[in-house]
Amino acid sequence: MLKAHNVCLEVDGPGDSEANASLHLLREVSFEVPPAHLVAIVGPSGCGKTTLLKVVTGILQQTDGELLWDGRNLSEEEDLHPGDLGYVPQFSIAYDLLTVEESIASAMALRTQLAQTDDFLASLDYILEITGLTHLAERQVKVLSGGQKRRLGLALELVTDPCLLLCDEVTSGLDPKSEREITDLLRVLSRGHPKRVVINVTHSLASLDAYDSVMVMYQGVLTYHGPPHSMTHYFGVEHPEEVYLKLTERSNGDWHESWEKYRETYYKRHGFDGTRVLPEDENAAVPADGPSRTTVREKRTVVSHEALPKPHVDVIPEHHEFPPIEMPSMVLQLIELLKRRWTIFRRDKAQVWLHLAMLFGFPLLVVIFALDGIKPLRSLSTHQEDNIEVEYRQQQQFASEQLKAGGLVSGLVMLQVVLVTLMASNNAAREIASERLIMEREKLGGLHPFAYVGSKVIFLGLFVLGQSLWMGFFVDLVVGGLPGDLIIKLALLVLASAAMTSVCLGISALSRSPEKSTILCIYLVGFQLPLSGAVLTLPDWLENWVQPFIAAFWSWSGSLSSMRSTAFFDAVKRVTDTDLVTPGIAAFVLFVHVVVGLAMAFIGVQKSQWDS
């Protein structure tokens, strides 16, 4: 049984004055829900329905009051095991490019160890059957209708056979037929487990007769919790649709006090404590604005909750006995995440072609500027010509060659670095932000943040190695060999790509939307060239503050420093006034960028952003 006693949620208000010091999103909400029970939470927009559901889920922590499950205080003791809780948010929580069967199988692999047992297929078939998705198992999520996606959302939560199933507006936006079908499915699911409680937040009042009870919220307080057929009598209206208008006639405090006065009577009368007292007239329910006009006879009959007649005939498939649910290890979760990410990537043809275009197009763009190759610098003769004019022309020619060679080498190295960071930004900018809500749901189900971040590091790491190494080898091969140590230059290209990938991954994890993350990452790449000092030199006082954050500077500077033993180093120095650093220092700073970016990613993944 689920019980709430005086649950409150208070948050800081928008102003500094005492009147705006705090907001009461929930105020003294108390209720009891028996097992095998389906509850609807209804009320006007902004009344606290979803907030109450998130408090029960554990996404939000109440500031006062108690939540109890089977007598265990969830506020003081451990929360429910991830396997005992199912939460279906309003939005879609499945990947469009996976099939229905793949989505459920992936959820099972992330939340249970069934994938390694003989019960895997039987459990999968049962979930498909009970949610009515068997005939859609091979279809991709992107082609499902709204009602079918809601069924899939429920199916994903059934992989652990939860005893508490919480749904946030899973019937909203559906046509009347689909809404009724989903409501009937919720009723079936509430009977599919001897201890299961199913709660659904809904705006619709059309299918309330399918619910065992209805909670009516108004401005953060509970104003009614009882059978659907008694709700209209309680509020003194003829139709459920009139309840919302009726609520506006009194303050939320008055409604709350009235309900607290009659709550115990309703609970005893309608069996919310496991038994039900049947009055002579069901409409003898006490209205909120005064005592009932109908006298309940003193002699009453007590019957069990299970013996009550049901308004619906529930056709429930034979219950599948799930084995004890155990969470998979972090390594198993990481492997499953990698398999899923690779499947999604290879099916996204647009992304595949974009990556191929960048992989081959960007190196070609670099070599276009060096089609004539890097011409060797002719050394200036140590023999002094008697003819001053000839000596002057030789010096001028040597200086011109130096400028051209230095500018070309410096430009080619910087262009490689900037294009590699651009590819890195494209790889990571949306990687977490685009699947934020799916990730939040999987975290609630027991996904380890280290497994999630680790899967992103490995997946994106393959792109880092492939793109940067190919860029370095291809350009070096076509132009006939850039001056300097090839191994050092390749290592610094890889580190520049890794640094930008990590930082953009961190931005993606901290951002509230993929659009915002993409814009920030584009800005970050856009400032790499002008702030690197490769083209224009910053004022000394500003350069020391800016350069530590510019990954392109360190890769470019370290690569040019690897040319110290060649004639091109003096040529490069002639075209730049920026102080160059050694490859070792450059590599260390870029490694720090990688660490900072991964720390940002881990912090962002751990941070809850359900409201984004």
Q: Does position 392 have pLDDT exceeding 60, yes or no?
A: no
Q: What is the Cα–Cα distance from 595 to 21, expressed in whole angstroms?
A: 39
The per-residue pLDDT for 482 is: 77
Q: Does position 276 have pLDDT exceeding 80, yes or no?
A: no
Listed ranges 113-122, 278-287, 569-578, 580-589; the one with the highest mean pLDDT: 580-589
pLDDT band per the 50, 70, 90 thresholds, residue 605: very high
The per-residue pLDDT for 376 is: 54
The per-residue pLDDT for 295 is: 33
pLDDT band per the 50, 70, 90 thresholds, residue 399: low
**Spacing of C-alpha 547 from chain mean position:** 33
| Predicted confidence (pLDDT) per residue in 57-90, tens digit | 888 888 999 998 888 887 776 667 888 899 998 8
pLDDT band per the 50, 70, 90 thresholds, residue 30: very high
| Predicted confidence (pLDDT) per residue in 223-253, tens digit | 999 999 889 989 999 888 899 999 999 999 9
Chain mean pLDDT for the chain: 83
Domain boundaries, the chain: 2-307, 330-606
Q: Which of 461, 465, 450, 456 is nearest to 430 (CA)?
A: 456
Show the tokens assigned to 524.
Answer: 């970050």
Q: What is the Cα–Cα distance from 457 to 343, expressed in whole angstroms?
A: 17
Q: Does position 288 have pLDDT exceeding 60, yes or no?
A: no
Q: What is the Cα–Cα distance from 158 to 576, expressed in whole angstroms?
A: 63
Sign of the alpha-carbon dihedral angle for 561, 563, 565, 570:
negative
> Contact 521/434 with Cβ under 8 angstroms?
no
- Rounded average pLDDT over 43-66: 90
DSSP 140: B
Query: Which residues are 200's β-sheet partners?
Result: 40, 167
17 vs 420, which has greater pLDDT?
420
| Predicted confidence (pLDDT) per residue in 119-176, tens digit | 899 899 999 999 999 999 999 999 999 899 999 999 999 999 999 999 998 988 888 8
Name the burial class of residue 339, with classes exposed (0-12), middle (13-18) and buried (19+) by CB atoms within 10 angstroms of its CB.
middle
Show the tokens assigned to 584.
Answer: 């070792």
Q: What is the Cα–Cα distance from 93 to 442, expressed in whole angstroms?
A: 9
Q: What is the Cα–Cα distance from 17 to 375, expressed in whole angstroms?
A: 73
Residue 464: CB atoms within 10 A of its CB come to 26
Q: How far apart are the first and last CA of the chain?
A: 32
Q: What is the Cα–Cα distance from 98 to 23, expressed in whole angstroms?
A: 42
The per-residue pLDDT for 407 is: 67
- Rounded average pLDDT over 364-391: 61
Show the tokens assigned to 560.
Answer: 């040019």
The per-residue pLDDT for 286 is: 54
The per-residue pLDDT for 546 is: 82
What letter represents residue 149's amino acid?
K
The per-residue pLDDT for 403 is: 55
> Contact 220/48 with Cβ under 8 angstroms?
yes
> Contact 224/235 with Cβ under 8 angstroms?
yes
- Rounded average pLDDT over 360-383: 68
Q: What is the Cα–Cα distance from 302 to 279, expressed in whole angstroms?
A: 10
The per-residue pLDDT for 394 is: 54
The per-residue pLDDT for 277 is: 44
Rg (CA), the chain: 33
**Spacing of C-alpha 599 from chain mean position:** 17
468 vs 529, which has greater pLDDT?
468
Q: Does position 298 have pLDDT exceeding 60, yes or no?
A: no
Share of the chain above pLDDT 70, in %: 81
Q: What is the Cα–Cα distance from 170 to 188, expressed in whole angstroms?
A: 15
Q: Please indicate, yes or no, whether the overall pTM of this predicted structure exceeds 0.75.
A: yes
The backbone torsions φ and ψ at residue 138, rounded to the nearest 5 degrees and listed phi first, read -95, 0
Q: Does position 354 have pLDDT exceeding 60, yes or no?
A: yes
516 vs 80, which has greater pLDDT?
516
Among the four given CATH numbers 3.30.70.920, 3.40.630.30, 3.40.190.10, 3.40.50.300, the one describing domain 2-307: 3.40.50.300
> Contact 476/371 with Cβ under 8 angstroms?
no
The per-residue pLDDT for 24 is: 84
Q: What is the Cα–Cα distance from 186 to 179, expressed in whole angstroms?
A: 11
| Predicted confidence (pLDDT) per residue in 256-274, tens digit | 999 998 888 888 887 776 5
Q: What is the Cα–Cα distance from 154 to 447, expressed in whole angstroms?
A: 18
> Contact 153/93 with Cβ under 8 angstroms?
yes
| Predicted confidence (pLDDT) per residue in 465-486, tens digit | 999 999 999 988 887 777 788 9
Poorest-pLDDT segment among 58-67, 304-313, 456-465, 532-541? 304-313
pLDDT band per the 50, 70, 90 thresholds, residue 559: confident
Q: What is the Cα–Cα distance from 441 to 156, expressed in whole angstroms?
A: 10
The backbone torsions φ and ψ at residue 34, rounded to the nearest 5 degrees and listed phi first, read -75, 165
Q: Does position 92 have pLDDT exceeding 80, yes or no?
A: no
pLDDT band per the 50, 70, 90 thresholds, residue 402: low
- Rounded average pLDDT over 176-198: 89
Poorest-pLDDT segment among 92-106, 174-188, 410-424, 528-542? 528-542
Question: 61: helix, coil or strand?
Answer: coil
The per-residue pLDDT for 390 is: 56
The per-residue pLDDT for 396 is: 58
The per-residue pLDDT for 294 is: 37
Name the burial class of residue 298, with classes exposed (0-12), middle (13-18) and buried (19+) by CB atoms within 10 angstroms of its CB.
exposed
Show the tokens assigned to 156.
Answer: 């994903």
Q: Does position 299 have pLDDT exceeding 50, yes or no?
A: no
The per-residue pLDDT for 21 is: 62
DSSP string, 450-466: HHHHHHHHHHHHHHHHH
Distant-in-sequence, close-in-space partners of 609: CB < 8 Å, separation ≥ 6: 436, 440, 512
Q: What is the pairing mode between strands 37-42 and 64-69?
A: unpaired
Query: Which residues are 85's β-sheet partners?
Result: 164
- Rounded average pLDDT over 324-332: 88
The per-residue pLDDT for 548 is: 86
